[in-house]
Amino acid sequence: MEFITVAKPYANAIFEIAEQNKSHSDWRDVLDAGAHLANDEDLQGFIASPSVTSGNKAVAVRALFKSILARELSAEELAFINLVLSNARLGALPTILSLFDKSTDLIGNAKVFQVTSAYKLSAKAKKKIVSDLSDKYKTSVSIDTEVDGNLVGGLIIKDGDKVIDLSIQARVDGLNLCLSIN
């Protein structure tokens, strides 16, 4: 199903709210959590289950958001989650996130980096990466994260065609290359 048509009004409304109260980061966190939840097969099965009431689905999803974000949802965020659930639009959350990010990037000239790590990054680690990249590039920064177990450890940070490879695998490959030359 094509979610862009469905997602656009949601993304625009959230962006307007975020602009009014300068809560872009909080909204991005909510949308990022929602995108991960929308892609979870177990949650998709739970939401699709006819044996679970819509009230129980809403309670469970709100609890998941609270757990992922490690904070209470604001009244606006809670209203948004309830609206998405009542309209059966949970699957549109990844597209809403993408559209929200594009709007934020256009306004703030922000850079979006793709960060791949060997394990799931904590909120503290994400904030440190964003802070370091913001300092380096002198602009606002947001990151999209993914996990690649093949890295063993470290990070790979991509900005378009630029790559900063801080992974253990890259270090091992570099050492192997040095040893093979000698």
Q: Are 98 and 9 in contact (CB under 8 A)?
A: no
Q: Look up the pTM and report it.
A: 0.60
Q: Are 131 and 100 in contact (CB under 8 A)?
A: no
For the stretch 145-158, pLDDT in tens is 899 888 888 899 99
pLDDT digits (tens, 9 = 90+) for 90-145: 999 999 999 998 887 766 666 788 999 988 888 888 889 988 988 888 777 888 88
What the chain holds in terms of domains, given with CATH numbers, is 1-108 (1.10.520.20), 110-182 (no CATH)
Name 163's bridge partners: 158
